Amino acid sequence: MESDEPWQTLAACNEISDAFEYGSNTAEFESQLPIHQDGSCNGLQHYAALGRDNEGGHQVNLTKSELPNDVYSDVAQRVEQKRIEDENNNGGEDCEIARRLRQSLPQNVPRKVIKQTVMTTVYGVTMYGAVLQIKRQLRAMDIGNDESAEFARYLARKTFASLNDAFTSSMALKDWFRLCAKGTSELMRTVEWITPLGLPVIQPYLKAVDRKGKLVLMPIPMKQVDAFPPNFVHSLDSTHMMLTSLNCARNGITFAAVHDCFWTHANSVDEMNRICRQQFVALHSQPIVTQCSDWFKSTYLTPKVAKILPPELLSKYQDMFTAKVEPGELDIEQVKKSVYFFS
């Protein structure tokens, strides 16, 4: 028998065997096997919730559905549709490469080709990084080095465009987070924030700079900007994990977690799932984006700073720290009825 996780499969088989050997009343067998529940592309789940992206939220299972939705397949289909449009656009700049790509691929744009890029988008993958990820997948399909590099650049562009189509508000929020980090760096400050749990966070990306014979620690702008969106989302998923853990403990439920992977025993899976969804909704029912905007203004544009800055610069940073992203129409309460939110 083949299995992606052979040791877990063996443990499950042993547990089932023990249950059958328990006797006629197997319902009284006390299972000690941890049952795994996993978030559905959890980073994008938090982004979709922040931006209230209805279409994107549906793809990452924030809404009720009879069958699980797969964001990777959805994005692959969107990329393929863009490729078809380019192929049919005679004389268009991408027409030729779209046709050659169709001839080189054994099928429509495969899910596996764009999966890693979609997964790492919320964690700050750059266009350069996405090209390398996609190129590795194309090379594994025996597409030549030069051609795979050209195809990868094309597919990376189309993948980012497809994500923006489905997660419009979410991707706009990611850009705004980057803009905020750019503003703090220009003000010679590191990015700081407080999570919904009250945990203060400081990005420690600094370098020593000689200022009049003294070494001064200054923020590294590029690292501050690139790191803030993924770090902020990680602070939200860790908050959700802690809230789930605390409420499981209050209800006498054994709980374990690694990032967005939660475990409990078989008899408490339903209750853990209820708590998990309840706490996600409670977290994202808070005005997190507005609170973030207010935090940046009050922390970095203090009355003292406002007196020093020229009026045009003060206005510039006030504008940078103001979230102007129009939220979508996702009803966050739907998470409570979504079977495949964590599954």
DSSP string, 183-213: HHHHTT---EEE-TTS-EEE---EEEEEETT
Cα→Cα distances 176→23, 142, 170, Å: 61, 39, 10
Q: How far apart are CA 191 and CA 194, in angstroms?
A: 11
**Residues 179-201 pLDDT 10s:** 999 999 999 999 999 999 999 99
Residue 216 is predicted with a pLDDT of: 86
- What letter represents residue 175's amino acid? D
**62 neighbors 41 (Cβ within 8 angstroms):** no
- Cite the active site residues: 38, 115, 260
The number of residues in the chain equals 343
Strands 206-211 and 214-219: what pairing?
antiparallel
Residue 1 is predicted with a pLDDT of: 65
- What letter represents residue 290's amino acid? T
Q: How far apart are CA 144 and CA 67, in angstroms?
A: 38
Task: Write out residues in the chain with pLDDT < 70, as ranges.
Answer: 1
Residue 115 is predicted with a pLDDT of: 94
**Residues 37-67 pLDDT 10s:** 999 999 999 999 999 999 999 999 999 999 9
Residue 24 is predicted with a pLDDT of: 75
**189 neighbors 225 (Cβ within 8 angstroms):** no
